[in-house]
Amino acid sequence: MAIFNRDEYEARVRAVRNRMEQQGLDTLIVTDPANINYLTGYDGWSFYVPQAIIVSLVLTEPLWVGREQDLFGARLTCWMNENALKPYADHYVQSLIRHPMDYMAQVIKSYSLHHGRIGVEMDGYYFSALSYQRLLQGLPDAHFQDATLLINWIRLIKSEAEIHVIKQAAHIVTRAMDTAMEVIRAGVRECDAAAEVLRAQIQGTEEVGGDYPAIVPLMPSAVRTGAAHLTWVNRRYEPGDTVNIEIAGCVQRYHCPLARSAVIGVPSPHLTELSQVVAEGVTNALDVVKPGALAEEVEGAWQKVIQHYGYQKSSRLGYAVGLNYPPDWGEHTVSLRKGDLTELQPNMVFHLIAGMWLDGYGLEISETFRVIPEGVEVLTGTERKLFVLEEPQALCS
């Protein structure tokens, strides 16, 4: 069964149809697995083959189109009726002769939807150039239009049910971060520490188990902390190492990310100073958050602090976050950066990540926050600081 009630899914579909009408679309082919999940509840590790849902202004329910092998998974997770599930035969899978989008075109024709304006998610991870080409060949009378972020922008404001799940993910990531601080020690292999963190992410809490996160634990150490988006390697931590930990709790595909940095032993003066500046900057940025504030104003408050101390950060400060699949937990809509004039509204959720990647060293402090009528709600309670971890006695003597 889908995790939300039918009324919520139907409201989401209505919102998408309204947006389609505004953009002049008759039909929408949705291939982003997060958007498929958002509208139908479908959840399976099947996105390595083409799959999609069809939303039409004239159909009462979305149509799920996926591999026949995944049909039972669709029955278990989707809210729609059986006749809305349209599986394709296995001979379409990784074939040089036929393609799943050939079958998609047949389904669209069977509902007489092939003469109108059809939106496709042109910039999606899981919509290939060949998929588009086969749709063009199979539906020559249709007019195709880019609708990449149509659903993503609707997802920006969360329902109370979604907020509840994200808060469950917040409890999980808090526990996983505690685990990281317990297992990172001199002499421990990075891969072993990452394994314990990932175990904690999936094990979850006594109340709720964790889902697999869209991004693996990002846990570089030593000189590698000066680079963003690196994972662990097969080395042992050494005294004096800094470790960046960027992870997320995930429940039913909804994420709550969290990043902190730790040092094994005594931190250097420049790292201590950087941590204090970053923590102050994050606090200053969060103080700006409230309904009506602009996304760029949050980043501007951060820049005011770090520039005062002589630091620079050219990359964005954060982004909208929530429901997603690999390779990203971000929603690809609002960014906390100069020039983004999006007005914050209640129940928007963001990952504010103050990552400073400098010459040979780096540091990260992040918070996932929710916009509320009174201002801001930070979803985790992990102390906003550089964590100093003790070295084993045998390595300190």
Which DSSP string corresponds to 346-380? TTBEEEEEEEEE-SS-EEEEEEEEEEETTEEEES-
For residues 216-244, give the mean pLDDT: 97
What integer is the mean pLDDT of 309-323?
97
Helices (H), 190-268: 190-203
For range 370-387, the mean pLDDT: 98
Q: Which of 374, 376, 354, 375 is nearest to 366 (CA)?
A: 354
Distances (CA, A) of 225 to 104, 172, 243: 45, 24, 7
pLDDT-derived band at 396, boundaries 50, 70, 90: very low
**Residue 390 confidence (pLDDT):** 77
User: Alpha carbon of 348 to those of 153, 163, 198, 335, 340: distances in Å?
Assistant: 11, 9, 27, 12, 15
pLDDT of residue 391: 60
Q: Evaluate if residue 263 carries a pLDDT over 90.
A: yes
Question: In which band, very low, low, confident or very high, does the pLDDT at 1 lie, cut at 50, 70 and 90?
Answer: low
Rounded CA-CA distance 352/366 in Å is 5
If pLDDT is split at 50, 70 and 90, which confidence band does 65 have? very high
Structural domains for the chain: 6-155 (3.40.350.10), 160-396 (3.90.230.10)
Report the mean per-residue pLDDT for the chain.
Answer: 96
Q: Please tell me the distance from the alpha carbon of residue 370 to that of residue 157, in angstroms, as a whole number.
A: 10
Q: Is the pLDDT of residue 194 over 90?
A: yes
| pLDDT of amino acid 3 | 84
Average pLDDT over residues 70-85: 97
Which carries the bigger pLDDT value, residue 218 or residue 397?
218
What's the pLDDT score for residue 244? 98
Secondary structure of residue 66 in the 3-state scheme: strand
Reported pTM: 0.95
Confidence of residue 2 (pLDDT cuts 50, 70, 90): confident
* pLDDT tens track for 120-161: 999 999 999 999 999 999 999 999 999 999 999 999 999 999
Distance of alpha carbon 4 from alpha carbon 148, whole angstroms: 24
